[in-house]
Amino acid sequence: MKPMIRIVFTALLVLTMVAVAACSSNNSSSPSTSPSTGASEQPSGGKTDGEKVKLRIMTITTDENRNNIMEQFIKPNIAKEFPNLEVEFEPGGGGEDMANKMKTYNASGDMPDIFWNDAGFFTSLNQAGNIMDLTSYITEDGFLNKYKVPEALKHFDGKIYSLSSGADTYFTPVIFYHKDLFEQAGVQVPQTFDELIEASKKLKDEGIVPVVTPGKDGWGLKLFMLQQMVQTGDPEAMMKLVNNETDFNDPSVIAGVERIERLAKEGVFADGIANIDYGPAMEMFTSKKSAMLWMFTWELPNLAKIDSVDFFPFPSSSDKYDPNKVAQFWGSPLNGYAVSAKTEHPDEAVKVAEFLAMQDALYFESVGSAIALETGNTAANLSPLMEKFLNWYNAADVKIASFALNSVDARMSAELSTQGARLLTGEYPSAEFLKVINQEWEENTWFGN
Partner 1 sequence: MNKFFSTKMSIAVFATPALLLFTVFCVYPLLPQLWMSLHNHNGFQNLGFVGFDNYWSVMKSSSFWVSHRNTYLIVAISVLIGLPLSMVFALFIDVQTPRLRRFFKSAAMFPAILSVIVVSQIWVAFYEPNWGLFNTILRSIGLDGLTRSWLTNEKTVMISIGLTFLWQYIGLNAILLYTGIKTIPKNYYEAALIDGANAFQVSTRITIPLLQDVMKYVLILSSLGSMAFYAHVRVMTAGGPGDLSRTVIYQMYYTAFDTSQFGKGTAIAVIFILQCLVISFLIQRFVAREKVEF
Distances from the Cα of 72 to the Cα of 12, 193, 445, angstroms: 55, 41, 40
Q: What are phi and psi of 327, to 5 degrees?
A: -145, 150
Residue among 388, 395, 413 at smallest CA distance from 403: 413
* Min CB(410)–partner 1 separation in Å: 5
Residue 15 touching partner 1 (CB under 8 A): yes
Q: Output 63 or 141, the one with its CB closest to partner 1.
A: 63
> Which positions from 383 to 412 touch partner 1 by CB under 8 A, shown as an x/- string?
---------------------------xx-
Question: Are 338 and 116 a contacting pair, CB within 8 Å?
Answer: yes
Residue 18 touching partner 1 (CB under 8 A): no
Residue 22 touching partner 1 (CB under 8 A): no
Q: Output 111 or 367, the one with its CB closest to partner 1.
A: 111
Residue 37 touching partner 1 (CB under 8 A): no
Cross-strand partners of 326: 398
Question: Are 371 and 65 a contacting pair, CB within 8 Å?
Answer: no
Helix (H, G, I), strand (E, B) or coil at 409: coil
Q: Output 18 or 79, the one with its CB closest to partner 1.
A: 18
Q: Output 129 or 186, the one with its CB closest to partner 1.
A: 129
Distance CA 8, CA 30 (A): 37
Q: Output 106 or 316, the one with its CB closest to partner 1.
A: 106
> Which positions from 246 to 285 touch partner 1 by CB under 8 A, shown as an x/- string?
------------------------xxxxxx--------x-
Distance CA 353, CA 143 (A): 11
Angle at which helices 410-423 and 430-442 pack, to 10 degrees?
180
Distance CA 77, CA 3 (A): 66
CB atoms within 10 A of CB 89: 17
Q: Which helix or strand (DSSP H or E) is residue 85 part of?
A: strand 85-91
Residue 345 touching partner 1 (CB under 8 A): no
Residues in the chain: 449
Q: Output 227 or 419, the one with its CB closest to partner 1.
A: 419
* Min CB(235)–partner 1 separation in Å: 29
Distances from the Cα of 217 to the Cα of 64, 108, 387, 411, 417, angstroms: 20, 25, 33, 14, 5
Among the residue ranges 172-180, 341-349, 392-400, 422-430, the one whose residues contact partner 1 (CB under 8 A)? 422-430
Using CB under 8 A, pick the residue from 134, 362, 370, 421 that binds partner 1: 421
Question: Are 90 and 56 a contacting pair, CB within 8 Å?
Answer: yes
Longest CA span, the chain:
97
* Min CB(3)–partner 1 separation in Å: 12
Using CB under 8 A, pick the residue from 172, 190, 415, 441 that binds partner 1: 415
CB atoms within 10 A of CB 29: 9
* Min CB(355)–partner 1 separation in Å: 29
> Which positions from 89 to 118 touch partner 1 by CB under 8 A, shown as an x/- string?
-------x--xx--xx-xx-----------
Residue 333 touching partner 1 (CB under 8 A): no
Helix (H, G, I), strand (E, B) or coil at 308: coil
Q: Output 217 or 354, the one with its CB closest to partner 1.
A: 217
What residues line the site for partner 1 (CB under 8 A)?
Answer: 1, 4-5, 8-9, 12-13, 15-16, 19-20, 23, 96, 99-100, 103-104, 106-107, 124, 127-128, 209, 216-218, 270-275, 284, 289, 410-411, 414-415, 417-419, 421-422, 424-425, 427-428
